[in-house]
Chain A
């Protein structure tokens, strides 16, 4: 009897999990479906779910009209570059704050977070003026710089919480066994910190990939990433949902694939410390 209940529970919870998963995934699925419809069908009420005239015309138009690879390359360079630099700065910062905190560590952390509380548009004009003066408008370097700055507080906070979870005693034990600082870092700390590092890296990458305020406002052509590519398909006078969906599907494809491949690390990282 008990076993039957367990099985039933299992079925119910599996079904519930699938349902929740489907609901969360639905907007993306809907976008992908819309990208295969004609403009009129994409707008039709009531909408058709699967039984419509499937067409790849939107993808052809999008390919013809804009240079996807130019934008995708910019996105990769900007998101990747800003993430790597942010990690390079954040790892030592979080490390020192987690392992040798001072009286002011908490204040510093809060101050860093406070920089995220200002709406970006509030500093748009000053930043724009600075970028203009130093020639950073419409450059990848400029966007890497600003996205790196923008995400740094979150990266430091995430890493700080992960590092805090690592018990100091383990490090001490390693030291007692005669490990040098280098060995301690490579053989003891790194394996324990990897899930945290990986999920921070990936989350930061996703944040930088999706960032659509600074990338739209500070880039024109040369440095324009996929956000600009998507924005170019919205039309004030004319139907555009299907083409916009095709452009968006193309834009999220790389990051979606990356997310799928690194799912395990991501889940491990995000639940790190939850089962202690």
Chain B
């Protein structure tokens, strides 16, 4: 009791003596990815430098976050001051004037150091509307030991023909090893992220210049046929329900010879704590068909300020801190270079300390450079985005098309039927939204 009294008296004394600083409380909405959790853990470093700002975190599941944040921003609810959003949302929301342009990030922020492709993806009309926190593309991760055993050599930029051929050779179903693991779970951000990127490398596109859906094109047919045939012969059972996490678990457990997915997975599969194959992983660019486009996407989880926030200044301060070069150094000093958020700044890829612990760095950078959200595929398109089309309708259409393609993979429909259904679904939605007549 005495202690309590002392503590209360002490606290009261502190309160009285403390200079009256007007406290600003920032509410940051984010997803549960390890880089974000690390940032959460380092918040005290920011508040120590900015004693007038308190930071509170709301971590939510990706889809819940999207729904929650969209509702709040559309109704100007003002519940959040900093949002974690992806490259898909940035151009759409910026055009609706939902985001505050980030032009006051400070003199030493060095916008020029941001990777150009990532910077493009979070800018509209040359103005930055979100600051990239970590960026990713996709690439091939493969088992060097299995390739050596089979006498195969992975080129740095493989073709689809090579990947298909190698996958078939490396499949040993009796040993539980499958040649290739790819996403199959339906969703615009799940199988459609992969398949849209893959279709780009086959020269396919979602829409022509007049927004006419293109699923009836031979390029899409070739994409989907290649994918379904490959997965049937060399993929794991039940692939139509596999997403990023399922494939990560399969690859880490040594069940896949190849896996084409997000570049951020590279550090997870090479971490001996979580992966049984950590020392046997090689990396290569996503496959192509010689048309000048690789099957890799571009994504950046970015921090943005909603137009409804009344604490723009403090929010910008926080964003500048969390996406700065100094933050990278801070993470490196506390948790090592292997744990810094990748894929946003050129300086990171010139840092010898980082390159030493990240054997995948060179290919991550090359993959990001190879993706162009403004010119995603071989033919011209009216939309922005590599593995998506940045229009509000895409989430719904993408998921419906994803369901068709997932069904084709599981065998409950044929490739032709899936493409016909995808075409009619997309046509209907695009007519309803007024893009085509």
Contact = CB atoms under 8 A, between A and B. Distances in A.
Interface of A: 39-40, 43-45, 65-66, 124-125, 128-129, 132, 137-138, 216-217, 220-221, 224, 228, 231-240
Contacts of B67: 217
Given A44-B253, A129-B75, A220-B79, A231 B60 contact: yes
Interface stretch (B26-34, B114-122, B143-151, B328-336): B26-34
Contact of A240 (B27, B79, B245, B264): B245
A239 B77 contact: no
Contacts of B56: 221
A40 B58 contact: no
B59 interface: yes
Given A232-B61, A235-B32, 10 more contacts: A45-B249, A124-B71, A125-B74, A128-B75, A132-B76, A132-B78, A221-B27, A234-B62, A235-B33, A235-B245
Given A125-B75, A217-B71, A220-B27, A233 B32 contact: yes
Interface residues of B, number: 40
Contacts, number: 92
Given A124-B71, A125-B75, A132-B75, A221 B245 contact: no
B268 A238 contact: yes
B424 to A, nearest CB: 26
A42 B264 CA distance: 21
B248 interface: yes
A137 B31 CA distance: 21
Interface of B: 27, 31-34, 37, 40, 56, 58-62, 64, 67-68, 71-72, 74-80, 189, 244-246, 248-250, 252-253, 262, 264-265, 268, 274-275
A39 B274 contact: yes
Contact of B249 (A40, A65, A128, A228): A40
Nearest to A237: B33
A216 B31 CA distance: 14
Nearest to B176: A45
Nearest to B86: A236
B87 to A, nearest CB: 14
A224 B268 CA distance: 31
B185 to A, nearest CB: 12
Contacts of B62: 234, 236
B396 to A, nearest CB: 14
Given A40-B252, A220-B80, A228-B60, A237 B264 contact: yes
